[in-house]
A = this chain, B = another copy of it.
Amino acid sequence: MSEGSVVETDGSGSHPDPVDLEDLHVTVGRRLRAASMRYSRSRFSVVEVLAAGCRPLTLPEILSAGDGYGLAQSSAYRNLGELVEVGVVRRVEAGYDHSRFELHESLTGHHHHLVCVECGRVDDFEVPDEFEAGIEGLVGEAVARGFSVESHRFDMLGRCSSCHGNV
């Protein structure tokens, strides 16, 4: 294994829901230290909240979740930005008011999203391996057009269970 990764990349296509926290913090600490950054209490808190969320969270959500720890808004944004830099967090643009943040796929496993067009909530969604394999086939086409593919994203848009009734 090239680097300590928390999730087994066994290609099963499903990600182990609440990721082992022990390992997670060890890995995150290592990545931060590798960039000569400290795993401060507030960064720890942010990671903890994101891990517990199990879906991409907005900044307000992160702040209220990490309530006990009175994290300042600006610090949260700063922490998230730094964690993105060291490959621990990924920013997810859902196109509503706020951006959303989730743990990087190298920590939680590859997955896609269900985006509610009504309330903006985003949930994780795993797809079967055959589907991912199909995507690989498309990469060749893009390359033929002079575009070098690094990753992909696939979202299904619709209404989440709590937004069905409401128009």
Contacts and interface: CB of A to CB of B under 8 A. Distances in A.
Nearest to A93: B95
Interface string A141-167: 110011111111111111111001000
B142 A158 contact: yes
B93 A150 contact: no
Interface stretch (A19-27, A36-44, A123-131): A123-131
A112 to B, nearest CB: 9
Contacts of A164: 146, 148
Contacts of A145: 114, 123, 125, 161
Contact of A155 (B95, B125, B152): B152
Contact of A158 (B148, B154, B157): B148
Contacts of A91: 95
13 contacts: A91-B95, A114-B145, A114-B147, A116-B147, A130-B134, A131-B135, A131-B137, A134-B134, A146-B164, A147-B156, A147-B158, A149-B158, A150-B157
Interface of A: 91, 93-95, 99, 114, 116-117, 123, 125, 127, 130-131, 134-135, 137-139, 141-142, 145-161, 164
